[in-house]
Amino acid sequence: MNILAIETSCDETALCYIEVHPTETGAAFTVHSNITHTQLEHKEYGGVFPVIAKREHQINLPLILNQVMKDRPVPDYICVTTGPGLEPALWCGIVFAKELSAKWDVPVIPVNHMEGHILSVLVPNTHPSVSAPLIKMNQGFDNTFSYESNALQFPALALLISGGHTELVLARAIGDYTIIGKTRDDAVGEAFDKAARLMGLDYPGGPEIDRYALQYKDQEKPTFPRPMIHTRDFDFSFSGLKTAVLYYIQSLGSVLTEDQKAAIAYEFQEAATEVLVTKTKKAIEHYGAQTLIVGGGVSANKRIITGLQTMLAQEFPDTSFHAPARTLTGDNSLMIAIAGYFKIQKNPDAVYTDIKAQGNLEL
Ligand code: KG4
Ligand code: ZN
């Protein structure tokens, strides 16, 4: 079957066209085209501005569609992200999908964005992807990977970390999820972005803090809290960490030197990593997880990935670890196509009516 997938939940306008064939042991995927356009227009505002996101999605969707559909037949299904995300942004993708559905007489399959992040790990790490400013997006390529039905052992635990979410999800099978813990205030990516802003760094702040932390070399550094690290539940809190950064910068009382930025970035990243790793460890233990999955924009952070891998090697050597390919950590449509495929496969005759944006949709 051929699938066109559309993702517009935040500030990425992403479309892809894939072909999937079930095999005896799983499925064979061919990615014919996969384009992710990151809207750079938000940079000057230091965060995602919904009105601008909507405007840019509306401008870019038809342009990217032309590229993605080049030399391709009408797909059998259109998969679209319906939530969670920014509602004005989600609606752009949904309305676009519905228009194409009417034009081509093809069903629309609603897909949960967070399930997409979980299943993004099914794409091998070596998979190339296109992530480029719009003007450069002329690449179309054929790329094949296979899925084996025993690739993920269940129960699995997914740590989803992005600018909008911080969640621990228990997966009993593909399509069967329970959120067992989440942030009570800021998402971890949001905390990275806010801390970076306090330090005078660019948006998005996650990669900036990551970069500065690497420059830390034993200078004097602050000590930040590890919020909720000892609570018995699997919830998180990151707003206190950001406030600690604010107070520390105020206490220094002058413009930050490069050394001070490196020390703050290092300690911030250590605190965030320690909390994420500790809560994940408790959850693996509690649920006997056979597999640990990490996904979302913050999973591009090498320190967090290494922290999780070290913890697994020491405590749960039999639990396998899956992180997305670097180009698929952030929002993309390939993960939506994959999640859509499994949804179609599970329930081929389902008819989805009343498809609408659900900003706070849970798994
Ligand atoms: O998944 P994503 O692209 O969008 C959503 O929020 O859904 O995640 C974006 C977030 C931003 O907060 C960004 O600062 C963070 O991911 N991020 C990182 C890194 N790269 C991106 N955070 C920490 N370290 C990184 N290397
Ligand atoms: Zn996301």
Q: Which residue do the tokens 């790793």 mark?
A: 277
301 Cβ inside 6 Å of ligand 1: yes
pLDDT at 281: 98
pLDDT at 44: 79
Ligand nearest to the CA of 300: 1
10 Cβ inside 6 Å of ligand 1: yes
- Cross-strand partners of 12: 38
Q: Is 83 left (phi over 0), alpha (psi -120 to 50) or beta?
A: left
**What average pLDDT does this structure show over 102-129?**
88
186 Cβ inside 6 Å of ligand 1: no
19 Cβ inside 6 Å of ligand 1: no
Centre of ligand 1 from the C-alpha of residue 333, in Å: 16
Residues 170-216: pLDDT tens digits?
Answer: 999 999 999 999 999 999 999 999 999 999 999 999 999 999 999 99
What percentage of the chain carries pLDDT values higher than 90?
86
Ligand 1 pocket mutation, candidates 40, 118, 162, criterion most atoms within 8 A of CB: 162
Task: Indicate whether 130 pLDDT > 70.
Answer: no
Residues 144-154: pLDDT tens digits?
Answer: 888 999 999 99
Residues 11-25: pLDDT tens digits?
Answer: 999 999 999 999 999
pLDDT at 126: 57
Centre of ligand 2 from the C-alpha of residue 12, in Å: 9
Distances (CA, A) of 78 to 26, 96, 144, 293, 360: 21, 10, 20, 26, 22
Coil/strand/helix, residue 188: helix
Looking at per-residue confidence, does 326 or 183 come out higher? 183
**Averaged confidence pLDDT in the chain:** 93
Distances (CA, A) of 116 to 158, 195, 207, 333: 12, 27, 22, 8
Ligand nearest to the CA of 164: 1
**What average pLDDT does this structure show over 323-348?**
94
| Global confidence as pTM | 0.95
What are phi and psi for residue 132, nearest 5 degrees? Answer: -155, 155
210 Cβ inside 6 Å of ligand 1: yes
What is d(CA 101, CA 164) in angstroms, rounded to the nearest whole number? Answer: 29
Cα angle 350, 356, 360; round to 5: 110
Centre of ligand 2 from the C-alpha of residue 290, in Å: 24
Centre of ligand 2 from the C-alpha of residue 55, in Å: 19
